[in-house]
Amino acid sequence: MGELVSTLITVVLVITVMLAVFVGVNLLVDQAPKRFRVFATGAGALLGAVAGAVANSGGWFLGGPLWPLGGAVVGALLGAFVWARHPPPPDRAWRIPDRTRPVIFLAPALFFLTITLVAPTIRTIYLSFRDKRSEETAGLENYRSLFGDRTVFTVEGWRDILTSRLFVIAVGIVVVAVVLVVVRARLERRSIDFTGPAPSGSLTVAAILAVLAGVSALTGVVWNNVFWLVLVTGFATLLGLAVAVLADRSKGESVAKSLIFMPMAISFVGASVIWRFVFAFTPAGKDQIGLLNAFWVGGGGAPQDWIRQVPWNNLFLIAIMIWIQTGFAMVVLSAAIKGVPSELIEAARVDGASEVATFWRVTLPQIRTTIAVVVTTLMITVLKVFDIVQVMTGGNNDTDVIANRMFSEVFVNRDNGRGSALAVLLFVVVLPLMVINVRRLQTEERS
């Protein structure tokens, strides 16, 4: 309780000081056109204080805090008697408030952003080229050792994909889909078109199966992130879209949507705990306390320790994030679907299109940009996954991901070099997505 109270007091103090400084500096700048001497004195004091602090930033001289203070006094005097002697002409004077105002308004934000985001990012990149304790340079050694580490990245096992059942079935589906489409096109004298709901659907299923084949065969931190990326983004978007569409034409829409959206409100840690109980494992012979095992055993299987089963344990962790993020996709896509002008739907209806066709060929294209937004945002979120893996498995049993691995390198191995390298890797992967989002922002701003 004491901590909370002192924090609240700190907050009030910080805000009051900030506002006081803000109002004060604004008032000061407002004096420039009419009372230049006042402005010069105040500005002199400010600049003097900064100069004083800088002058002693090397700690060379004694009397630390006196330096900014002394600087302020000197600056004020200089301002009042030297600077004020040469006031700018009236029209220039009016410009002073206008020119300095943006700086005043932006300074706090830029200060915080530099300290917590910009400078650290640059420093991390720098650290990735230095050794464990950041004392000596290490060149590309950190990166080399990371990519040489087979727990981080390796392609061995790719051959197993080709022979896995899932992959064979996937290929089979693709072949059947292609044949059907081509045959149909020939018979009905239409162009070869893979964009219809059926071909797209079956190709998607095939793709999912192929990815699952990959899950079973490929190991390593990097591949795990890839699987997370593809499966969470794909399923969350698809399910979100499905729920958005279903809810749109059902009773109790808002209740249903609230319930599906709810997991977004709780922490990843809380969600992990919830699913811990779902995946709980008790050895055979005793009652199952986990929901999944209860169904599994009830269906005649032997109880499984789901989150330790290599390689499918990844899927169960991935399921947790799908559970959480579907609500996000649903909310955004639902808004987009409702934003499609009803005249378009009605026109399609009048033109004779079925429900499915209307959705596929009218609604979906209209919400394409929104889907892109959802997908990129999900991808950025998924790439950073840490909490779930950390809490459920700690990264063991081949469930490790980049963010988690970075954490271990820094806090367990105490290796700043490799840790920074992993952070940079994560950043580099997220960067293109960031660029896409920013580009979209720019086009939005223009329109």
Partner 1 sequence: MSTTVTPTTAPLPEAATGAAPTRGRGVGTRLHGLLGAVPTGVLWILVLLWTLPSLGLFVSSFRSETAVKTTGWWTVVTDPQLTLESYRGVFSSSTSDAPDMWQHFMNSAAIAIPATVIPIAIAAFAAYAFAWMDFPGRHWLFVATVAMLAVPFQMSLIPLLQLYVNGAHLTVFGETFTLLPDLDLQGTITAVWLTHIGFGLPLAIFLLHNYMASLPRDVFEAARIDGADHPTIFWRLVIPLSVPALAAFAIFQFLWVWNDYLVARTFLSIGSTDAPMTVRLATLSGSRGQDWHLLTAAAFVSIAVPLAVFFALQRYFVRGLLAGSVKG
Partner 2 sequence: MSAVTMDKMTKVYPNGVTAVSDLDLDIADGEFLVLVGPSGCGKSTALRMVAGLEEITDGTLKIGERVVNDLPPKERDIAMVFQNYALYPHMTVEQNIGFALKLARLPKDEITKRVHDAAKTLQLEDWLKRKPAQLSGGQRQRVAMGRAIVRDPSVFLMDEPLSNLDAKLRVQMRAEIAKLQRDLGTTTVYVTHDQVEAMTMGDRVAVLREGLLQQVSEPERLYAEPANLFVAAFIGSPSMNLLEATFERANGDARVVLSDEQSLDVPAAVVADNPELEGFVDKPVVVGIRPEHIFDASIHDDRVDASGPRLQADVELREALGSELVMHLRTTAQRAVTDDTRNAADADDAVLDELERQAESGEALLVARFDARSRARIGDRVELAVDTSQLHFFDPETGNRMSA
**Site residues for partner 2 per CB under 8 A:** 90-91, 94
433 near partner 1 (CB under 8 A):
yes
Sign for the CA dihedral angle at 253, 254, 257, 259 comes to negative
We find the least distance from the C-beta atom of residue 405 to partner 1, in angstroms, to be 10
**From CA 110, how far away is CA 107, in angstroms rounded?**
5
We find the least distance from the C-beta atom of residue 47 to partner 1, in angstroms, to be 18
| Site for partner 1, residues 287 to 316, rule: CB under 8 A | 287-291, 294
Label residue 254 exposed, middle or buried (CB < 10 Å: 0-12, 13-18, 19+): exposed
Among the residue ranges 162-170, 204-212, 309-317, 388-396, the one whose residues contact partner 1 (CB under 8 A): 388-396
Nearer to partner 1 among residue 113 and residue 155 (C-beta): 113
26 touches which of partner 2, partner 1, none (CB within 5 to 8 A by kind)?
A: partner 1
Nearer to partner 2 among residue 36 and residue 316 (C-beta): 36
We find the least distance from the C-beta atom of residue 104 to partner 2, in angstroms, to be 17
Q: Which residues contact 18 (CB under 8 A, 6 or more apart)?
A: 108
269 near partner 1 (CB under 8 A):
yes
* Three-state DSSP class for residue 261: helix
**Pick from 232, 318, 374, 401: which binds partner 1 (CB under 8 A)?**
374
Six token digits for residue 428: 């580099």
250 touches which of partner 1, partner 2, none (CB within 5 to 8 A by kind)?
A: partner 1
307 touches which of partner 2, partner 1, none (CB within 5 to 8 A by kind)?
A: none
- Other Cβ atoms closer than 10 A to 174: 18
**Pick from 7, 151, 369, 413: which binds partner 1 (CB under 8 A)?**
7
Among the residue ranges 43-51, 140-148, 213-221, 255-263, the one whose residues contact partner 1 (CB under 8 A): 255-263
Label residue 353 exposed, middle or buried (CB < 10 Å: 0-12, 13-18, 19+): middle
Which of 2, 74, 80 is CA-nearest to residue 37? 80
| Site for partner 1, residues 69 to 108, rule: CB under 8 A | 97, 99, 101-102, 104-106, 108
- Other Cβ atoms closer than 10 A to 52: 21
**From CA 18, how far away is CA 317, in angstroms rounded?**
44
275 near partner 1 (CB under 8 A):
yes
192 touches which of partner 2, partner 1, none (CB within 5 to 8 A by kind)?
A: none
> Beta partners for 137?
130
Six token digits for residue 336: 């987009």
Sign for the CA dihedral angle at 250, 251, 254, 257 comes to negative
Nearer to partner 2 among residue 63 and residue 90 (C-beta): 90
Nearer to partner 2 among residue 251 and residue 446 (C-beta): 446
**From CA 96, how far away is CA 136, in angstroms rounded?**
48
Which of 198, 122, 202 is CA-nearest to residue 170? 202
10 near partner 1 (CB under 8 A):
yes
Nearer to partner 2 among residue 91 and residue 445 (C-beta): 91
406 near partner 1 (CB under 8 A):
yes
270 near partner 1 (CB under 8 A):
yes
